[in-house]
Structures are given as structure tokens and as C-alpha cells.
Amino acid sequence: MTPPQGALAGIRIIDFSRFLPAAYCSWICGDMGADVVRIEHPRELAKEASVFNASGETPEQAHLRRARATQTRNKRSVLLNPGNALAREAIHQLIRGADILIEDYRPGVLARMGYAYADMAQLNPRLIYVSVSFAGQTGPLSNRAGHDPLALSLSGALSRLHGTPAPSMPGLQVADTLAGAHATIAALVALQARHLTGKGQHVDVAMSDACLPLMMLTLARAPGGDASRLAPPDGSWHPKGGVWRCADGQYLCTTDMEATYWRRFCEVIGRPDYIGKQHAKDAWPAMEQELKQIFLTKTRDAWHALLSAADTQAMPVYSLAEALAHPHNRARGMVAELRLGDATVTQIGTPFHLSETPARAPALAPRPGEHTEAVLTEIGWQDRIEELKAAGAFEG
């Protein structure tokens, strides 16, 4: 029988995440049925609100902004200052009954607030403590702070990400998403290990580590396995694929690297003479210039229709709006449209599909602190809420 709440029903997660990498992990677990209790720091929320309040944002608009972020869904919000002494007691009580703790503070910061892994493991020996940081909990750079582009830089991936001689800032959160995905994998592996051993453990996920697998094939193809002998990307075209500007100014991507697909590609574009030149490097520069002119003779969608009919590997370079509207992405459940008052909130669907334990229906992000009293009641602190208020536990 399919568990109605998802594969992770019965798993409780205490979520200290603030940024995408760690929030990605708790998002996936929440989608799969875990009870994710997000500890929200009043001071951090106040800083965020001050930025938007200056532009006249209403509470309803703030909630809508918060709800638009896919990674905030399927979580409960508890508003407590984790640095407050009495709040710490309540959070420790929550941690005693938790399965997983997720945090993304700079190494050492959460420990100084009273939540070091060693201490939490004493509170709850079965706790899986997931730390997501820029460069990890160990190593010469472990004390450094940094965001996505720096992790790509440290891993070497930014040097090749755009396939051009000069690296540039990425337009997407590559390192953040990779770190979140690896944190999710590691948390679930640790959960399985606990099933075998009965013990929790510390999971250390570095954004820089998560980016290095981007370089696996590049390393394997390095001359003699020596990465120092790799030529930098020069932006030149080769028959493994290309991105072509079409007559309407839109772009089409092709990846006809296998011989069968390359033959079909050459036949469709009317250049069967290219078939035997796939590995003739000296011919590539002239071929590239000719291909640029060929693709300018038809629109993107016209080329896509022709190449698709011949079963080549071609795909329009869609904008985000086009991708969200695409029938395939919608059929796969990768576009979630939810209502919040009179507004429609569009989010990304869960990026995998399980036949027996599917993801649960998405619940939009709650207002900050919406579940504070309910969660405190669950741990027997309902009679201490006024005491917490008096102690400033709900203040920054």
C-alpha cells in the first residue's frame, strides 16, 4: 500500500537552512513526506523585511514573494531566536525527537550558538546532522564564506562552464543546486546507514566538492590523464554539437555526435558532403561558418521540425517561460501552479518520480512563525509560550 504522506512520512527534520543548497535538501525531503520544521531567526527575517518594506511591500505581498520560491514549500515555520537561552532549550527538545538536522551556517557559527554536532549527538545519538557550507567543515578553506560562483571557481568548473576562453559569471545557481542534490543524497544514505547501525552521523557537504563531479569527463579525457595538459576551451565549434542562431533570431541546439545522428543531420541540412568530415579537424572552421549561414535560412521552429522528423538530436533553446509552457514539462509534472489568494504561484515540480511513493501535493510556504505554537505544543511547551515571549525568544 502506498503511504499517503510519502516515502519519508514519520521522519522529522529540524531545518536551519537560509540559502538554496541546504533549503534544497529540506525541500526534497518535505516533498517526499518528511515533517520539516524550519527554525526561522527573527533577526534575519527582520533584515529581509526591511529591504522590501522600503518599497512599500504589504504583508500579503511578502507572503506571496516567500511562496514563489519552490524550496520553501512543504515546510512548517517556527519563529525562534536560536541564540536565546530559553529558545535554545525548546529547540534542543525538538532536536531530541528529530531524525535529521540541516544547517548552512559558516562552520563554527551554529556551534557557538549552542548546537555543535558533538553536543547534538549527545542529545540524540540517532541524529543525522547535515552541514552544507561553501568549502566544507575541514581543509584550509573551511573558514571561508562564499556563494555559487566561488564554488565553481574553486572546483575548476567555472574555467570550462561556458566553453569559451574567458570565464564569466554564470546565469544560474549551478553550485547551489548541485550541493543541495548531494546533500539530499548524503542525508538519505545516512538515514539508511542508521537503519543498519542505529547511529546517526555528521554529514559534511561542501559546495566546492559538489561542483568537482562536473569535471569528471573532462579529467578522464585529459591527455595521459594529466589535467595540466588540458587546453583551455577556445569556443570553437566541433561536430559534437552546436548552438545556432536562426532566421528569427532564436537559437537551436544540436548534439549529433554519434555517427548515425551526424549522417542524418548532414542530410537534413543539405550537406551530405559533411558526413565524411566529422573527424576532419582541419575542415571544422570552414564547416562552422557554412553552418551558421545555413541555419540563418529558416526559423528556429522550422529547423526543429525538420530535424525532429529525421530523428536527429535537436532542441530549441527555450526561454524559462517557454520551458514552463512546454507540454512535455507539464506532462512530467515539472510545473506546479498553486493558488494563494487571487494570485497564481508557479513552482518547479519534484525532479524525480517514484511509482509507489510519489511526492505529496505541494503546500505553499507558510507565513513566518505560522506553526510556532503548534510545534511547541507537540513537545509539551504549550504552557511556556508566555515565558518564551517574556524572555525575548521570538525577537531578534
Instruction: Classify 245 as helix, strand or coil.
Output: strand
How many whole angstroms separate alpha carbon 60 and alpha carbon 183? Answer: 32
Percent over 70 (pLDDT), the chain? 98
Is the pLDDT score of 49 beyond 80? no
SS3 content of the chain, % helix, strand, coil (to 5): 45, 15, 40
Q: Are residues 269 and 146 in the same domain?
A: no
- What local confidence, expressed as pLDDT, does residue 375 receive? 98
Q: Are residues 260 and 206 in the same domain?
A: no
Length of the chain: 396
Is the pLDDT score of 296 beyond 80? yes
Q: Are residues 316 and 373 in the same domain?
A: no
Within the chain, where are the H helices?
20-31, 42-53, 59-68, 85-96, 109-110, 117-123, 148-155, 174-197, 207-211, 216-220, 259-268, 284-295, 300-309, 320-325, 327-331, 372-378, 385-390
Residue 228 lies in a domain: no
Q: Domain boundary residue among 271, 303, 323?
A: 323
User: What DSSP letter does each residue of 37-71 carry, written as one string?
Assistant: EEEE-HHHHHHHHHHHHTTT--HHHHHHHHHH-GG
Q: What number of H helices and E strands is found in the chain?
A: 17, 11
Q: Are residues 171 and 134 in the same domain?
A: yes
Is the pLDDT score of 259 beyond 50? yes
Across 43-52, 224-233, 266-275, 321-330, least confident range: 43-52
Q: Domain boundary residue among 272, 296, 323?
A: 323
Residue 233 lies in a domain: no
Q: What is the C-alpha radius of gyration for the chain, rounded to an integer number of angstroms? A: 25
pLDDT digit string, tens, across residues 98-109: 999 999 999 999
Across 138-147, 200-209, 223-232, least confident range: 223-232
Q: Domain boundary residue among 323, 346, 376?
A: 323
Q: Are residues 53 and 172 in the same domain?
A: yes
- What local confidence, expressed as pLDDT, does residue 396 receive? 79
Residue 236 lies in a domain: no
- What local confidence, expressed as pLDDT, does residue 2 receive? 45
Residue 4 lies in a domain: no
Using DSSP bridges, classify how beta strands 128-133 and 202-206 pair: parallel, antiparallel or unpaired.
parallel
C-alpha cell at 191: 538515514
194-199: average pLDDT: 98
Q: Are residues 93 and 175 in the same domain?
A: yes
Neighbour tally for 328: CB within 10 Å: 8
Q: Are residues 312 and 381 in the same domain?
A: no
Is the pLDDT score of 361 beyond 70? yes
Is the pLDDT score of 334 beyond 90? yes
pLDDT digit string, tens, across residues 109-157: 999 999 999 999 999 999 999 999 999 999 999 999 999 999 999 999 9
Is the pLDDT score of 180 beyond 90? yes
Is the pLDDT score of 3 beyond 70? no
- What local confidence, expressed as pLDDT, does residue 56 receive? 80
Phi, psi dihedrals of residue 379, rounded to the nearest 5°? -100, 15
2-23: average pLDDT: 89
pLDDT band at 48 (very low <50, low <70, confident <90, very high): confident
pLDDT digit string, tens, across residues 335-354: 999 999 999 999 999 999 99
Q: Are residues 166 and 296 in the same domain?
A: no
Residue 92 lies in a domain: yes
Is the pLDDT score of 66 beyond 50? yes
Q: Which residues span the domain enclosing 192?
A: 12-213+366-390
How many whole angstroms separate alpha carbon 111 and alpha carbon 107? Answer: 8
User: What DSSP letter does each residue of 118-133 carry, written as one string?
Assistant: HHHHHH-TT-EEEEEE
Q: Are residues 74 and 189 in the same domain?
A: yes
- What local confidence, expressed as pLDDT, does residue 39 receive? 98
Is the pLDDT score of 363 beyond 90? yes
- Domain CATH code at residue 306: 3.30.1540.10
C-alpha cell at 252: 537551436
Amino acid (one-letter) located at 183: A
Q: Are residues 289 and 380 in the same domain?
A: no
Q: Are residues 203 and 288 in the same domain?
A: no
**Count of domains observed in the chain:** 2
Residue 328 lies in a domain: no
Residue 308 lies in a domain: yes
pLDDT digit string, tens, across residues 277-290: 999 999 999 999 99
Half-sphere exposure of 368 toward its Cβ, with a 13 Å CA cutoff? 19
What's the mean pLDDT when you consider all of the chain? 95
Residue 220 lies in a domain: no
pLDDT band at 54 (very low <50, low <70, confident <90, very high): low
- What local confidence, expressed as pLDDT, does residue 4 receive? 57
Given strand 202-206, what is the order of strands in its sheet? Answer: 76-79, 35-40, 12-15, 100-103, 128-133, 202-206
- Domain CATH code at residue 124: 3.40.50.10540
C-alpha cell at 20: 538554496
